[in-house]
Amino acid sequence: MRLHLRWALATGLLLAAGCGAAGGAALDTTLDHVDKATGVRPSWRVGAGPGDDATLRVRALLAEPLGGDGAVEVALRLHPEVQAALAELLVAGGAARQAGAWPNPELDLHSLVRDDKFFVEVGILFDVSMLLQRGPGQDQAGAALGAARMRAAAQLVRVALRARLAYVDAAAAEARLAQRAQARAASAAGDELARALAQAGNVDELVRLRARVAAAEAVLAEEDAARIRDEAMIALRLALGLDPDRAMPALVRLPTPPPEAPAPPAATATAEASLDLQAARAEVEAAEAARVLATRRAWLPHLRVGALVEPGDTWGVGPAGSLTLPLFDRGGGRRAAAAAEVARRRHQAEAVGGQVAASARVVLARVRAAHRRVGVLREQIVPERRRLLEEAVKQYNAMNVDAFGLLLLRRELALAEEQLAEATRQYWRADAERAALAAGALIEAQPGAASMGPPAGDGGAARGGGHD
């Protein structure tokens, strides 16, 4: 019997070690996928302090102008949601390890008095029913671990996506504020010119009032841009996992979109790469294993077998066992719940598949539309507005256009440049969503995108004939 106990103990330790290695492999696989998708390999920071490698790397990144890739790296190294996702994965790994553990033997002690003598019976029992349920339990825990791995990887990719989107919005908000400041300065100059001309009697009160209104609107537009910039910086700190009051470095300007839009993956490739869809399918497998386990528990009696020892003058040894008869509770409720859970998981997987397909189509349309809008503004509208202003300057020198006409054309050019900046923001947001979707993360790609506010009004100073 001692030999059998030693064999059982050794086997249990080997199985526990194997399950622990499986949990570590799931963590490594998750980190490898995130590294491949984002270029950053997060780390499980247990007991991390101010001098650990991740913290030092974040400090170095925040000491320089921050770009999109830097924002992603800061978030994946610092954001607590990353650590929470990895911890959840380790929780699933621990459950898988526990599912592979052998049941402990049970020690039963019974005492009785016989012929004025006190006797003790010692029984060692082993739960056979738990051994028979061990296979489905391991299948369920293994499928749950696979689903947790997919969920963790998708969550980390979404953390990277939020960081990149927050950077895009913050960088665009800073550019918008600079443009609004220039527009406010131009409107203020127009207001000052109109005041001087009105005092000289060269323009009527209507022109003077329109210039004042344009200057006031430009001030409000700049204040709105400043508020949006402040909100965008707060959102960026939140997306990076930084303190809301922490000073932020300068942001790298958004680059010019490429001449050709990147080709989005096919819908079938997106569905195959979707981590959320794979996780939903793994959860269906886990629910199936749970249903098998519930059925086996319903019809399998609670069986324990072992040996009974009665010490005394003459020791007695014999087999022992206990059996639960499933007469009243046959687990009907548990089996029905398990079957319903299978149906629920299947419907959820079907819904996730539809969401993945819809997100792929929305992102595809968004990338194409944003790229086309950038191209039209960059290659046609903004250059034409600049040439129009240059021609107006020539006409002004020839006394065919007055100063207010020049100011109006300058504001129209500023508006076109602002529209180009907003289109650039929309493009890089759509491109980030495309990259996240290709990496397997399900995103909420709802039609339409949040705007950063209406463009500054042109104020509409009146055009005149010649200038005096």
Burial string for 74-102 (b: 16+ CB within 10 Å, else e) reads: bbbbbbebbbebbeebbebbebbbebbbb
Cα–Cα distance measured from residue 105 to residue 5, given in angstroms and rounded to the nearest whole number:
9
Count structural domains, the chain: 1
Give the pLDDT confidence of 401-436 residue by residue, as tens digits. 776 777 778 888 888 999 999 999 999 999 999 888
Coil, strand or helix at 241 = coil
CATH number at residue 223: 1.20.1600.10
Phi, psi of 133, rounded to the nearest 5 degrees:
-90, -5
Task: Answer whether 241's CB lies under 8 Å from 80's CB.
Answer: yes
pLDDT of residue 454: 43
Band of the pLDDT at 4, cuts 50, 70, 90?
A: very low
Q: Which domain holds residue 102?
A: 2-326+347-438
In a domain, 247, yes or no: yes
The mean of the pLDDT values for the chain is 81
Phi, psi of 243, rounded to the nearest 5 degrees:
-65, 140
Structure-block tokens of residue 290 = 């749970």
Band of the pLDDT at 18, cuts 50, 70, 90?
A: very low
In a domain, 333, yes or no: no
Give, for 319, the enclosing helix (H) or strand (E): strand 316-323
Coil, strand or helix at 383 = helix
pLDDT of residue 458: 45
* Torsion sign (Cα): 356, 357, 360, 366: negative
Rg of the chain over Cα atoms, rounded to whole angstroms, equals: 35
Say how many C-beta atoms besides its own lie within 10 A of residue 153's C-beta.
Answer: 27
Residue 316 or 209, more confident: 209
Residue reference for tokens 């250059």: 383
* Mean local confidence (pLDDT), 241-253: 90
Contacts of 450 by beta carbon, 8 Å cutoff, 6+ apart: none
Band of the pLDDT at 15, cuts 50, 70, 90?
A: very low
pLDDT of residue 23: 54
Q: Is the pLDDT of residue 244 over 90?
A: no
First to last CA, the chain: 116
Using left for φ > 0, alpha for ψ between -120 and 50, and beta otherwise, residue 399 falls in left
Band of the pLDDT at 227, cuts 50, 70, 90?
A: very high
Structure-block tokens of residue 156 = 């980390």
Q: Is the pLDDT of residue 105 over 80?
A: yes
CA distances from 205 to 185, 212, 357 (A): 22, 11, 60
pLDDT of residue 264: 66
In a domain, 446, yes or no: no
In a domain, 410, yes or no: yes
Full-model pTM: 0.80
Residue reference for tokens 């994946």: 76
Structure-block tokens of residue 323 = 């059996």
* Mean local confidence (pLDDT), 283-307: 83
Say how many C-beta atoms besides its own lie within 10 A of residue 130's C-beta.
Answer: 18
pLDDT of residue 6: 32
In a domain, 454, yes or no: no
Band of the pLDDT at 464, cuts 50, 70, 90?
A: very low
178-187, 201-210, 457-466: which has the highest mean pLDDT? 178-187
In a domain, 270, yes or no: yes
Task: Answer whether 243's CB lies under 8 Å from 125's CB.
Answer: no
| Residue of 203, 202, 223, 200 lying closest to 211 (CA atoms) | 203
Cα–Cα distance measured from residue 258 to residue 272, given in angstroms and rounded to the nearest whole number:
28
Structure-block tokens of residue 241 = 């996992």
In a domain, 122, yes or no: yes
Cα–chain center distance at 406: 48
In a domain, 443, yes or no: no
Residue 455 or 66, more confident: 66
Give the pLDDT confidence of 117-163 residue by residue, as tens digits. 776 778 888 787 787 778 888 888 888 888 888 889 889 999 999 99
* Mean local confidence (pLDDT), 308-315: 70
